[in-house]
Amino acid sequence: MKVGFVGLGKMGLAIAKNLQKAGHELAVYNRTASKAEPLRAQGARVAETPRDAAEGAEVVFTMLADDHALEEVCFGETGILAGLEPRAIHVSASTISVALSERLTEAHTRLGQGYVAAPVFGRPDAAEAKQLWVVAAGTSSEVERCRPLLEAIGRGLSVLGQKPSSANVVKLSGNFLIASMIEALGESFALTRKAGVEPKVFLEVFQSVFARSPIFERYATLVANEQYHPPGFAFPLGLKDIGLVLQAAGNSQVSMPLASLLRDHFVEGLARDLGELDWTALALLAAQRAGLSKA
């Protein structure tokens, strides 16, 4: 298929490489054009604007950090909506707000274009290894047209229904679970460390008794090893996602007190200059509160 791809950060570049390996013809755009060079070397066309990447594409993917970045590449004279042909599909793989997903659904529908929300679960190393889990929502025909692409980037695909924003709700709920898990792991490791138990020993117990999910076990290993850098998922993005969770919860009148606590911990972490670390640094905060770490 002819595929446009906008956003070549750590996740986006890995996903685009897997689409290219699967034999799809790519036109790619990134604000820092040099990040597209590995794809250009393998035959991709480097577009000058998001609109250029979308023109002639059957499907255009976006993988951006937040709502603002996605809005910048979608709307306006040089945006994706201006270049995408009728019936062509925008696949948003970004973790964005439910409100923006609904706005994109309306805008694409108005122009006769398709829109599928397909955020992914997994870190950059999982993206490189094609081990992402994709959650997708949109009209049945559009999701099925995109299925070969979605299956080319991960180990599994869950189709959630006809309403694209449903996938964003699921992604935000999943990230809330991960952040809650990191917080619980951080507090558990801080308690056992302060009692004199080596982290690797408690990790062995965790792996033997509790670990069933690759995601849970991976984060437990990162916490046990105090591996907060380099960031696979940056600490400020954790604050962004938990903020989106609380926004969605407020709109649906759902009380989520743990999410409020997590937001406060992310804010505290940024105040303690943890912004350059991975969001696993929630565990570093727990260690600091326990008097185990000052850095």
pLDDT over 90, % of the chain: 96
User: Does residue 35 carry a pLDDT above 80?
Assistant: yes
Q: Facing residues of 14 across strands? A: none
- What's the pLDDT band for 294 if we cut at 50, 70, 90? low
Domain with CATH 3.40.50.720 in the chain: 2-163
User: Does residue 76 carry a pLDDT above 70?
Assistant: yes
Helices (H), the chain: 10-21, 37-40, 50-54, 67-74, 80-83, 98-110, 124-128, 140-151, 165-194, 199-209, 214-224, 235-251, 257-271, 282-289
DSSP H or E run through 96: none
Whether the predicted model's global pTM rises above the 0.75 cut = yes
DSSP 153-193: SEEEEEE--S-THHHHHHHHHHHHHHHHHHHHHHHHHHHHH
* Domain 169-289 CATH superfamily: N-(1-d-carboxylethyl)-l-norvaline Dehydrogenase; domain 2 (1.10.1040.10)
Nearest to 238 by CA among 155, 156, 180, 165: 180
Residue 295: per-residue pLDDT: 54
Give me the chain's average pLDDT, please.
Answer: 96
Domain with CATH 1.10.1040.10 in the chain: 169-289
State residue 294 phi and psi, 5-degree precision. Answer: -110, -10
CB 284, CB 277: distance < 8 Å? yes
User: Does residue 2 carry a pLDDT above 90?
Assistant: yes
- What's the pLDDT band for 214 if we cut at 50, 70, 90? confident
Domain 2-163 sits in CATH at 3.40.50.720
- Give the mean model confidence (pLDDT) for residues 135-158: 98
- What's the pLDDT band for 63 if we cut at 50, 70, 90? very high
Residue 215: per-residue pLDDT: 87
User: Does residue 145 carry a pLDDT above 80?
Assistant: yes
Find where tokens 């976006």 sit: 62
- Known catalytic residues are 171
User: Does residue 271 carry a pLDDT above 70?
Assistant: yes
User: Does residue 195 carry a pLDDT above 60?
Assistant: yes
